[in-house]
Amino acid sequence: MSSVERAKATQITNIQKKTGKSLEDLTELIQTSGLSKHGELRSMLMEKLGLGYGDANMLVQYILKTDVQLVVQEKGLSTEDILDEIYSGPKASLRSIHEKVMSAILQFGAFEIAPKKGYVSLRRKRQFAMLGPSTNTRVELGINIKNLETDERLIEQPAGSMCNYKVRLTVAEQVDETVVSWVRRAYEVAG
């Protein structure tokens, strides 16, 4: 079992402890909710069970078997294959921004790249960043660290979000020393 699989198993166990519900109970709650969209199900779990965004999101993926990583493994796709899909069509021009961010992060040391639908999650012991196109003209870099110094480029996210901050990048030149230093701090804390 990989470290990611172990982490997911631990997260499922912890969700059951937090909610006092078995996996069967949680599955039934999702299947009988009358909801079908991932975001609606996630919101319902957050509201009814008091779960945070990450726990609710992972639980929906787990129960509906929509975890992109499992699909990637089953199909034998590489990270490059996933990135080619994410940065296709009108988003193809954004790939250079992604490459510049990743080039800087690769200098930090070892970490895991976990492909998701539409972005990649960057993890050590826990997620420290997310990176992917949010529109046809912008890449969003999510940074998972608390208490960064205020900067007009940092967009603080609501409590319970996947990352504490987002930075919107429209050209590769915006990936400067300051942006890289924010990600480096998150990388160090996640280790």
Please give, one letter per residue, the 3-state secondary structure of the chain.
CCHHHHHHHHHHHHHHHHHCCCHHHHHHHHHCCCCCCHHHHHHHHHHHHCCCHHHHHHHHHHHHCCCHHHHHHHHCCCHHHHHHHHCCHHHHHHHHHHHHHHHHHCCCCCCEEEECCCCEEEECCCEEEEEEECCCCCEEEEECCCCCCCCCCEEECCCCCCCCEEEEECCHHHCCHHHHHHHHHHHHHCC
- Of 121, 124, 123, 143, whose CA–CA distance to 132 is shortest? 121
Stretches where the chain sits below pLDDT 70 are 1-5, 66-77
Q: Is the overall model pTM greater than 0.75, yes or no?
A: no
For residues 151, 168, 100, 182, the Cα torsion angle rounded to the nearest 10 degrees is: 30
pLDDT at 68: 52
pLDDT at 7: 74
Q: Between the CA of residue 108 and those of 70, 177, 185, what are the distances in Å? A: 27, 13, 10
Q: Which two tokens stand for residue 100?
A: 């510049």
The whole-angstrom separation of Cα 126 and Cα 186 is: 10
pLDDT at 125: 86
The whole-angstrom separation of Cα 72 and Cα 82 is: 8
pLDDT at 80: 80
pLDDT at 169: 97
The per-residue pLDDT for range 134-163, each reduced to its tens digit, is 999 999 999 999 988 878 999 999 987 889
Cβ contact 91:136 at 8 Å: yes
pLDDT at 91: 96
Q: Between the CA of residue 124 and those of 4, 15, 95, 110, 132, what are the distances in Å? A: 10, 21, 23, 8, 18
pLDDT at 118: 86
